[in-house]
Structure 1
Amino acid sequence: MTSKIDIYERVKSYPWENECFVAEYLAQTYFYVSHSEKLLCLAMARLDDDKIFRRFKEHLNEESAHDKLALRDLKRFGSNIEGHKEHSLTKAFYQSQYYQIEYKHPLALMGYIFFLEDLVAKAGPYVHEKINASSGKVSSFIKLHYEEDEDHVEEARKLIESLPKNIQNLIAENKRYSQEIFFKILDEIESNIGKKVNNAA
Structure 2
Amino acid sequence: MERNITLIALFAALCAVLSTVPQIHLPLGVPITAQSLGVMLCGIVLGAKRGALAVLLYMAVAAMGLPILSGGRGGLAPFVGPTAGFIWGWPVAAFVTGLIMERWRASVAPVALVAAIVGCILVLYPFGIVGLWLLAPQSTALPTIAASMAVFLPGDLIKAGLAALVAQSLFRARPQSLLSRA
Q: What TM-score comes out, normalization by structure 1 length?
A: 0.31
Q: Which has the larger radius of gyration?
A: 1
Q: What TM-score comes out, normalization by structure 2 length?
A: 0.33
Task: Kindly indicate which of the two structures has a greater share of residues assigned to helix.
Answer: 1
Which has the higher relative contact order, 1 or 2, with Cα contacts under 8 A spaced 6 or more apart? Answer: 1
